[in-house]
Chain A
């Protein structure tokens, strides 16, 4: 930094460590709660240090009945549903956005700008403001309680299309000229040149969209009535409700932990791509 002030340096670290502790505290308490047995978790004050029941709770939550007395699907099934939904949303968004961005940047055709604006409008219609009619459409199409119903209505994305458009615009025109001289058609050019050139952007976007898909709450809540189709994120709410009758906080917190591990792992493990994806899609 500009000047060397030892005390200020130490103070900075202190503030940052305090910040990290504040941010991590809820997770620490969750983790601790998932390592004790049910009886200990009914006695106030709750423990602040881990206990020895982590694996018991882990096994009971993941493979057992989960919360005893509830009729929900097993947790491994919910994790699988969440994974399927998150992957379908992320890959679907990337696929259709790549195609439409390619058409809009590399072709001149009637209604090109019309299509562009139609895609732009989706930015202004988040699922929360059109819940009822969208639910009706999905119900009429018979897509309730299916992976298609969970993912397809969320798949159109203006941000992804804009980002790919931006990426394609930075690719030099000479690429296309030389490809055409070599006799490559549009699809060949798309597949052999555009896709490899935008590989890191695709990966960065995937990180963001995977988290977006995994964390969906309102939409799965509405369109899944079949317990076999529940996702892990929406199951937390049912567990909190059940907790009012029989508090089994060790199991609830273990479920919460399992629900946040995949997206947290993705963010921390692919931090560089995550930061890139975040800054690119929002600006």
Chain B
């Protein structure tokens, strides 16, 4: 943590940490504590006075069937995004780990979607699935599927899941490939000598050995799906049709900035904070228990 040899105490270290601490206090800790404080208040209809109500905002939220639906929808959305993008990344990484020649070329060709902003990913997918022009509705028509994500909630959800998962494949692929390449060759060779074929080797050796990476990616993907996908939802569906793609982050924004329900929005923020804290703690516990080969 601290160097054995260090500089003598003076005013200097305080000056050095000052910029970061000041910014943290003004833009992180103060707003967060404001959110916590506001979550205990209910304002009257004109915003003139507010009343301290303890946990009433939370109580209202948990009795609100719409909020609970949003909660489960967010879980479903995150799970779908994580499974889809981690699954494809795992398959691609397993094959990229096999090929001797060209592994780096494939890596270059697969990683760049990481740089695409979520909202742009949304724009690309909404264009491909545009009901009148898009290429996919045109193809889907041949097999009898009438695609219109502006009207069909399930289709809208499918679209945002695809867009969100597509963007995240690059990240998952990089971590899976790195994990697989760090497995000692001798281990895999020993399994091959014992007569295990490529599929058997993957499920019995490689997959268990990279399980810490899977776990780590699960947390990262959950955080991504919970928060970073705001842009996709906002640009593609605005939470609709009929709230079918409203996830928690979108609801905080919508209730706060559009609905101007400050107490309710703040209470939702607090719940989100608790979720992030939980995920961060899980992530850090993982870091301490790295698997040794």
Contacts and interface: CB of A to CB of B under 8 A. Distances in A.
A264 B112 contact: yes
Given A20-B109, A256-B124, A264-B116, A152 B7 contact: no
B153 interface: no
Interface string B101-141: 01000111111111111111101111110001111001000
Given A44-B133, A96-B19, A107-B9, A130 B111 contact: no
A19 B110 contact: yes
- The winner among A23, A105, A218, A268 for most chain B CB atoms within 10 A is A23
A95 B216 CA distance: 29
A23 B118 CA distance: 15
B114 A211 contact: yes
B116 A260 contact: yes
B5 A176 contact: yes
Contact of B133 (A105, A237, A249): A249
Given A129-B252, A218-B230, A173 B120 contact: no
Contacts of A13: 99, 102
B133 to A, nearest CB: 5
B19 A99 contact: yes
Contacts of B96: 12, 16
A25 B166 CA distance: 11
A173 B99 contact: no
A156 B109 contact: no
Contacts of B134: 46
B109 A24 contact: yes
Contacts of B218: none
A26 B16 contact: no
B4 A173 contact: yes
**Chain A CB within 10 Å, residue with most, of B14, B28, B252, B277:** B28
Interface string A10-52: 0011011001101111110110010000000110111010000
Interface residue SS majority, chain A: helix
Per DSSP, chain B at the interface is helix
A71 B277 CA distance: 42
Contacts of B272: 128-129
Interface stretch (B49-57, B58-66, B71-79, B171-179): B171-179
Given A176-B3, A218-B230, A118 B21 contact: yes
Interface string A76-108: 000000000000000000011101101111111
Listed residue (B14, B116, B128, B170) with the most chain A CB atoms within 10 angstroms of its CB? B116
Interface residues of B, number: 102
A135 B201 CA distance: 53
A278 B262 contact: no
Contact of A133 (B38, B116, B287): B38
Nearest to B260: A132
A109 B110 CA distance: 47
A55 B138 CA distance: 28
A253 B146 CA distance: 25
Interface string B204-244: 00000000000010001000000100110011100000000
B23 A156 contact: yes
A30 B127 contact: yes
Contacts of B67: none
B110 A33 contact: no
B3 A173 contact: yes
Contacts of A64: none
| Centre residue among B12, B21, B24, B227 by max chain A CB count within 10 A | B24
21 contacts: A1-B98, A2-B192, A13-B99, A46-B133, A48-B135, A96-B23, A100-B19, A103-B12, A103-B13, A107-B7, A107-B10, A109-B9, A128-B227, A129-B252, A130-B31, A156-B20, A161-B20, A217-B117, A237-B119, A263-B117, A268-B111
Interface of A: 1-3, 5, 8-9, 12-13, 15-16, 19-20, 22-27, 29-30, 33, 41-42, 44-46, 48, 95-97, 99-100, 102-109, 112, 115, 118-119, 121-126, 128-134, 136-138, 152-153, 155-156, 161, 168-169, 173, 176-177, 180, 186-187, 211, 214-215, 217-218, 221-222, 233-234, 236-237, 240, 247, 249, 252-253, 256, 259-260, 263-264, 266-268, 271, 274-275, 278-279, 282-283
Given A97-B20, A132-B38, A279-B174, 8 more contacts: A3-B192, A13-B102, A19-B95, A45-B135, A108-B6, A129-B272, A152-B27, A240-B123
